[in-house]
Amino acid sequence: MLRLSEIKKMAKYALVGGLNTGVDFAVFVTLVYASGFGSALAQTISYAAGVVNSYLLNRYWTFEMKAKRSYAELARFIAINVLSFAAATAVLLGLEALGAESALAKLVSVAFSMTINYMGFRLWVFRGMEADGKRAH
């Protein structure tokens, strides 16, 4: 059974994920439909906006990191997001190539990226850190 602290962390992650998705999706749709950007460029810009939001909210609110940011933590965060971005973009462009509408393809790609991100953040980026910044034993 999950501990209450883990359930709270998952709930916070879900809320942050919803906000990230909203930022990403709103920027993507605005760029594609209102500004005429191609899907690949819009995906890059919108995903970057979501990543900045994600890092700040997940670090300080979801995982309650109090320790000073390290370059290693930031590098791990970026690595997970690069992997997630590649997977999401492949799904997005693959579905569009099969005839799916851009907005629907984007929504499906979000499910892939959210799964990769949570697992990466929880198991690698913010793993084993207590709220006071000390390693858990």
**Spans of all domains in the chain:** 4-125
Query: In terms of C-beta distances under 8 Å and separation of at least 24 residues, what long-range contacts does 7-15 make, across chains too?
Result: 9/62, 9/63, 12/61, 12/62, 13/58, 13/62, 13/118, 13/121, 13/122
Q: What is the pLDDT of residue 19?
A: 94
Q: Is the pLDDT of residue 47 over 90?
A: no
Measure Cα distances from 80 to 2, 14, 34 in Å.
Answer: 25, 17, 30
Helix 102-120 and helix 71-97: axis angle, to 10°? Answer: 150
For 48-84, what is each residue's pLDDT tens digit?
999 889 888 988 898 888 777 788 988 999 999 899 9
Q: Considering the entire predicted model, what is its pTM? A: 0.68
- Which of 53-62, 100-109, 123-132 is predicted with the least confidence, judged by mean pLDDT? 123-132
Q: What is the pLDDT of residue 126?
A: 82
Whole-angstrom distance, CA of residue 19 vs CA of residue 73? 22
Give the 3-state secondary structure of residue 107: helix
128 or 85, higher pLDDT: 85
First-residue to last-residue Cα distance in the chain? 20
Phi and psi at residue 48, to the nearest 5°: -60, -40
